[in-house]
Structure 1
Amino acid sequence: MVIDQRFVNHHAVESAASGVADAAAEHAPDAEERTMPEHHLLIVCPTEYGGQIEHAAELGAAAVRSGSVDACTILSRPGASMSTAGWDPSAFEMREVLLPRRSSSRVTRAVLQLMDVIRERRLIRSHISRLESRGGLTVLWESTKYGVPTVAPTTRNIVFVHNALPHGFSDDMGLRDRWHFRMEKRSARRADLIAVHGGEQRSAVADWGVRDVRAVALPGDSRPVVEHPNASDSALCIGEVRPNKGIEIAIEAALSTATRLSIIGSPEPSSYGEELKRITPATGVTLDFRYLEADEFNGRLAAAPLIVLPYVHFAAQSGVLAKAMQFDREIVASDLPALREQAGEYPRIRFVPPGDVPSLARVFSELQTYARNSDVTGFKQSAPAQWDAVAISLFE
Structure 2
Amino acid sequence: MKFHWFWPFARSEELDWARSTLRPGETLVTEVIDRAEAPAAGTTHGVTVLRDLPDVKRSVGRMGWAPSRAATYRERAAIRRRHWKSNEYDLFHLHYVNRFTDTFTRFPTPLVMSVHDVMPHNPRLGTRLEHQLLAHMYKRPNALIVHHARLADELHTTFGIPHARIHVVPHQVFPIDVEPSPRPEGPPLLLFFGAFRTNKGMEVLDEAMSLLGGQDVRLAIAGHGEKKLEDLALDMARRDERIHVSIGFATLREKQELFQAASVVVLPYTSFASQSGVLHDAYGHGRPVVVTDVGALGDTVRDERTGFVVPPRDAAGLATAIRRVLEPDQWDEAAAACKRIAHERSHAHIGIRLREVYDEVLR
The interval holding the TM-score normalised by the smaller chain is 0.7 to 0.9
Are 1:225 and 2:181 an aligned pair? no
Q: Is the 8 A contact 1:167 1:314 kept in 2?
A: yes
- The match for 2:346 among 379, 383, 389 is 383
CA distance 1:59–1:385, change in 2 (3 Å): closer
**Residues 42-121 of structure 1 aligned to structure 2 (within 5 Å):** 42-47=4-9, 57-64=15-22, 66=23, 70-79=26-35, 82-84=37-39, 89-103=44-58, 104-121=60-77
**Residues 352-371 of structure 1 aligned to structure 2 (within 5 Å):** 352-367=310-325, 370=328
Are 1:40 and 2:2 an aligned pair? yes
CA distance 1:286–1:112, change in 2 (3 Å): same
Structure-1 residue corresponding to 2:154: 204
Q: Is the 8 A contact 1:302 1:324 kept in 2?
A: no
Identity of aligned residues (%): 19
In 2, Cα distance between equivalents of 1:135 and 1:334: 41
CA distance 1:318–1:100, change in 2 (3 Å): closer
CA distance 1:150–1:63, change in 2 (3 Å): same
In 1, Cα distance between equivalents of 2:196 and 2:248: 10
- Structure 2 gaps of 5+ residues are none
SS in 2 for 1:324: helix
Are 1:341 and 2:302 an aligned pair? no
Structure 1 residue 95: Cα displacement = 0.5
CA distance 1:91–1:349, change in 2 (3 Å): farther
- Structure 1 gaps of 5+ residues are 1-38
Q: Is the 8 A contact 1:234 1:306 kept in 2?
A: yes
- The match for 1:250 among 180, 205, 208 is 205
In 2, Cα distance between equivalents of 1:352 and 1:88: 45
Q: Is the 8 A contact 2:17 2:348 kept in 1?
A: no
Structure-2 residue corresponding to 1:167: 121
In 2, Cα distance between equivalents of 1:77 and 1:287: 28
Q: Is the 8 A contact 2:21 2:351 kept in 1?
A: yes
Greater strand percent: which structure? 2
In 1, Cα distance between equivalents of 2:181 and 2:46: 28
Q: Is the 8 A contact 1:48 1:76 kept in 2?
A: yes
CA distance 1:89–1:193, change in 2 (3 Å): same
Structure 1 residue 135: Cα displacement = 5.3
SS in 2 for 1:266: strand
- The match for 1:262 among 220, 228, 248 is 220
SS in 2 for 1:200: helix
In 2, Cα distance between equivalents of 1:292 and 1:308: 17
Structure-2 residue corresponding to 1:31: none
The one-character-per-residue Cα deviations of 1:212-233 (angstroms, maximum 9, x if unpaired) are 2222211211x35237779474
In 1, Cα distance between equivalents of 2:31 and 2:290: 37
Are 1:320 and 2:278 an aligned pair? yes
Structure 1 residue 337: Cα displacement = 6.1
In 1, Cα distance between equivalents of 2:135 and 2:293: 28
The one-character-per-residue Cα deviations of 1:96-143 (angstroms, maximum 9, x if unpaired) are 11123212123323223323333332221111222x2x4523333422
CA distance 1:143–1:62, change in 2 (3 Å): farther
In 2, Cα distance between equivalents of 1:73 and 1:303: 36
In 1, Cα distance between equivalents of 2:223 and 2:139: 34
- Letter aligned with residue 177 of structure 2: V
Structure 1 residue 93: Cα displacement = 0.6
Structure-2 residue corresponding to 1:17: none
The one-character-per-residue Cα deviations of 1:304-335 (angstroms, maximum 9, x if unpaired) are 11111212222321112122123221222223
Structure-1 residue corresponding to 2:357: 394
Structure 1 residue 236: Cα displacement = 0.9
SS in 2 for 1:240: strand
Structure 1 residue 264: Cα displacement = 0.9
Q: Is the 8 A contact 1:250 1:310 kept in 2?
A: yes
Structure 1 residue 261: Cα displacement = 1.0
- Given the two structures, how large is their TM-score scaled by the length of structure 1? 0.73
- The match for 2:166 among 213, 218, 236 is 213
SS in 2 for 1:76: strand
SS in 1 for 2:139: helix
The one-character-per-residue Cα deviations of 1:354-389 (angstroms, maximum 9, x if unpaired) are 222222222333455659x99x99997653332123
In 1, Cα distance between equivalents of 2:85 and 2:248: 39
- Given the two structures, how large is their TM-score scaled by the length of structure 2? 0.79
The one-character-per-residue Cα deviations of 1:144-180 (angstroms, maximum 9, x if unpaired) are 343174356xx31121111113223xxxx43499877
